[in-house]
Structure 1
Amino acid sequence: MKLARYTYKGKTSVGKIGGDTIVDLSGDGIGLPADIASILASPDALATAAAAAATPGNSGCVALADVRLEAPVPAPGKFLALGMNYKDHEEEARRLGLPIPTSQVWFNKQTSCINGPYDDVHYPRVCEQLDYEAELGVVIAKEGRYISEEDALDYVGGYFVANDVSSRDWQMKSPTWTLGKSFDTHGPIGPWIVTADEIPDPQKLTLRLMVNGEVRQNSSTSLMTYSIAKQIEYLSQVMTLKPGDILVTGTPAGVGIAMSPPVFLQVGDVIRVEIDGVGHVENRIVKEPRI
């Protein structure tokens, strides 16, 4: 099931994608919570969503082409990202002379960076090295602490596509990566949440990133150093994971900073990230507007 957050005729709702249509789940006819995290956290709500989507002639059903898709989880309690988590990305890091971590390296992306799946991404006027990172995203559906690797995927509500847009100059000049990863608009996610039951093995997905149609990244989640289950186990030793928390799980080889010479994003570039079985996001780089 694909759960989306969308705007239609000035109203933002939560709905289920069905082919080329979307069914309003949060309207008067069905009345489910108006946030995807709450639906994912409730088996009853998920069952109601599935039944509503299958109802012929539902008055809340509109054409997908007529709506604006928004970030599916706009205000997570946590937005955590894992660095250096693909074997092929480690190899290009070695060529750059960067140290390879011996354990999981997590950082925060501030939630104010979250952006819609097709919205413009700002080129900050204080940035000189803007880069991209195709990533598989995970949304947590169940609260847990000290979660075992064996049980970890039971805590996943679904998956989404993410671009961990990175201001490399800001990332590299700080002891932590948070500033370089958290500029406004630098967290496009979506285009919806694909529920976990539709992704039997998240470690067997192909992901690609294109800049202006040119393929820059083309890899598989099978190359992750730490599987999603291992990520959840590791994080939950430190903190309680809660419904609606989102994780982005690392990027493969092909980032701009690793090219020879480095090739960074420019105003006007269009970046598309695709993950088979999940969907795609596509964003144009624009000048940051003056405030």
Structure 2
Amino acid sequence: MWHAIARYELKQGGAGAKLALVVDEALYDIGQLVEAGALGVVGKQPRVAADLNAALANWDAAAPLFSQMAQALPELLRAGRVAALAPQSYTIDVPYTPGRIFGAASNFYEHAREMGTELAPREESAPFCFMKAETSITATDTDVVMPADTEKLDWEVELGVIIGKTCRNVSVEEAYDYIAGYTVFNDVTARDLNRRSDYPFKHDWFRGKSHDTFGPIGPWMVPRACIERPQGLRMQLSVNGEMMQDDTADAMIFNIAEQIAYLSGMLTLKPGDLLATGTPNGVGMGRGVYLKPGDEMVATIESIGSIRNRVVAAPARKEAA
């Protein structure tokens, strides 16, 4: 049964962020589900993680509990023992905080072509990965802040793959065993800050991609078992209602499993690490069109959901006294 895990906060009277089970895009508080007997023990509190980071740390134990709640939900609804949260009563937070974010560069042929990137033949190449600061993440329905020193702010819808078990030197064949789930990621990029002229090193992707709010993520995490074929998911991004990107993850040069195998061959992947697996064509740089304050991006991935973010200008810097 399809379900997801979200992190939400009540607009009034809340006591911080809580976890919710998502079914048919409705949110159900995890604590209330447990109290109602979704895990078969009414009035008791089985050990359910308080947040998704904690759940990911022991995902093999946590995943079956979320699945059991989803299976129990229809009967609990019929009995009137639980109810969905009122949509106007909460805001959705980031589903979790990644330990590290690994990005895949030029991982779609058409995107590489629109960017003027000349790629070696696939059989002579390997994934090209970079890191993006985990502090860049921001939730759906929050603002992406456009730095004052960029004029070329761009969008990139990406399938986010969340690692659920520590792994090293994983083979392509066993890579999926280490995935906890999937989310939507928007790899916002300041294209003009990606390049440097003051050093012999011409590219600075860290500066172009790691500003605060440059990593919209969410709206929730869908467990791996709920998506039969993630490599075939449709990925879309619109700006102000106009479709800019529209392709499937099948168009990746190096697929999800190959990226996990490649990264785990270099370093130990840990629960909570996020792989941003590449973006299809249709980005602003390829079109010669860039984001400006007031623009609204909606990034959508089939079988996961959508995240919506508005661009705002950075506040003016305060002058030193």
TM-score, normalising length from structure 2?
0.83
Q: 1:164-175 to 2 correspondence within 5 Å?
A: 164-173=187-196, 175=203
State the AA in 2 paired with 1:35.
D
Contact 2:193 2:204 in 1 (8 A): no
Give secondary structure in 1 for the equivalent of 2:111: helix
- Alpha-carbon distance in structure 1 between the residues aligned to 2:292 and 2:54: 38
Q: Does 1:158 align with 2:184?
A: no
1:230 to 258, 265, 269: 258
- Unaligned 5+ runs, structure 2: 36-44, 197-201
Larger Rg: 2
- Alpha-carbon distance in structure 2 between the residues aligned to 1:216 and 1:78: 28
* Offset of residue 289 of structure 1: 2.6
Q: Where does residue 118 of structure 2 map in the other structure? A: 99
- Alpha-carbon distance in structure 2 between the residues aligned to 1:16 and 1:182: 30
2:155 to 123, 126, 132: 132
1:3 to 2, 5, 11: 5
Q: Where does residue 40 of structure 2 map in the other structure? A: none
For structure 1, which segment, 179-188 or 56-65, has the greater mean C-alpha deviation from structure 2 after superposition?
A: 56-65
Give secondary structure in 2 for the equivalent of 1:274: strand
* Offset of residue 18 of structure 1: 2.2
- Alpha-carbon distance in structure 2 between the residues aligned to 1:158 and 1:212: 29
- Alpha-carbon distance in structure 2 between the residues aligned to 1:44 and 1:166: 37
TM-score, normalising length from structure 1?
0.91
Alpha-carbon RMSD across the aligned residues, in angstroms, is 1.9
Q: Does 1:211 align with 2:216?
A: no
Contact 2:59 2:180 in 1 (8 A): no
For structure 1, which segment, 15-24 or 114-123, has the greater mean C-alpha deviation from structure 2 after superposition?
A: 15-24
Q: Does 1:44 align with 2:61?
A: yes
**Cα separation, partners in 2 of 1:50 and 1:87, compared to 1, 3 Å:** same
1:286 to 289, 300, 312: 312
State the AA in 2 paired with 1:73.
Y
- Unaligned 5+ runs, structure 1: none
- Alpha-carbon distance in structure 2 between the residues aligned to 1:139 and 1:46: 13
Give secondary structure in 2 for the equivalent of 1:49: helix
Q: From the two aligned structures, give the one with the greater strand fraction.
A: 1
For structure 1, which segment, 36-45 or 118-127, has the greater mean C-alpha deviation from structure 2 after superposition?
A: 36-45
Q: Where does residue 30 of structure 2 map in the other structure? A: 25
Aligned positions, number:
285
**Cα separation, partners in 2 of 1:34 and 1:120, compared to 1, 3 Å:** same
- Alpha-carbon distance in structure 1 between the residues aligned to 2:88 and 2:226: 23
1:89 to 95, 111, 117: 111
The one-character-per-residue Cα deviations of 1:46-65 (angstroms, maximum 9, x if unpaired) are 22223334352456852344
State the AA in 1 paired with 2:20.
G
Contact 1:80 1:109 in 2 (8 A): yes
- Alpha-carbon distance in structure 2 between the residues aligned to 1:219 and 1:20: 23
State the AA in 1 paired with 2:109.
K
Name the % identity: 36
Moved over 6 A (4+): none
State the AA in 2 paired with 1:63.
A
Contact 1:107 1:176 in 2 (8 A): no
Contact 2:233 2:301 in 1 (8 A): yes
Give secondary structure in 2 for the equivalent of 1:207: strand
Q: Does 1:78 align with 2:100?
A: yes
- Alpha-carbon distance in structure 2 between the residues aligned to 1:138 and 1:239: 17
For structure 1, which segment, 5-14 or 275-284, has the greater mean C-alpha deviation from structure 2 after superposition?
A: 5-14
**Cα separation, partners in 2 of 1:106 and 1:175, compared to 1, 3 Å:** same
